[in-house]
A and B are shown apart, each in its own frame.
With several copies, the nearest count.
Chain A
């Protein structure tokens, strides 16, 4: 499980995290670390691209919810886009859809900062 499973891109002030593998418990820890690193490097605007993700679990969703809350304390935010139907359903079930801003495309996510 190499780390090409997650790549980071720059777009103006935002960092885009492309997740290239399913976010089970093992990969969720990687995602949490990647986001923490960005926040420590003073990124305030983070977009997570979930379009390549087929499975997600509550730990991975929790990591994104936690990061969004921390970023908002400094007027930043974490937004997500590209959720397949099953992923969206899981976000809805755990209530994350009402906490996180979810977009259909990268451009709309970026435009919303």
Chain B
């Protein structure tokens, strides 16, 4: 299976409890899939890193209890791999994580700040990052990785 053989979009879905322990299994799943799709090692490393950052956020900042759960959707076709991570939010009043706030997060980031690098990394290492408020009152983070000759090996 290489991405060239897949013309239609394929969709895979996962639901896991909001616990950091499940991030490593999710990473190895997506790492294996990315390898089969023909992504090169460096790109696979980046994909696994972003999965960690985005899922950690969904668990730590977007889940009320471990039972809240997070939903992952993987989609790919011949041009790209897209990963959506959905949480149900912490039921805080009004979701602050709008585009404006994301800029704020990036601007606040200095090399010696201890936190606030996750979204920055996701933005830097993916080809597209979108953060949206979802109907469940939580956050959807969507990252896209395009297949490109220089990225494949």
The answer to A–B direct touch (Cβ < 8 A) is yes
A-side residues, CB < 8 A to B, are 1-2, 22, 24-26, 29, 55-59, 61-63, 65-66, 69, 86, 90, 93-96, 98-99
Known: A24-B52, A55-B48. 17 other contacts (CB 8 A): A1-B21, A24-B24, A25-B55, A55-B49, A57-B52, A57-B118, A58-B53, A58-B120, A58-B121, A59-B56, A61-B117, A65-B113, A93-B124, A94-B111, A98-B111, A99-B111, A99-B112
Within the complex, the shortest CB–CB distance from B150 to chain A, in Å, comes to 16
Leading 10 A-B pairs by shortest Cβ distance:
A95-B111, A58-B117, A62-B114, A25-B56, A66-B114, A26-B20, A94-B117, A57-B52, A25-B20, A86-B45
B27 within 8 A of A: yes
Within the assembled complex, what's the spacing in Å between the Cα atoms of A64 and B53? Answer: 17
The A-B contact count (CB < 8 A) is: 75
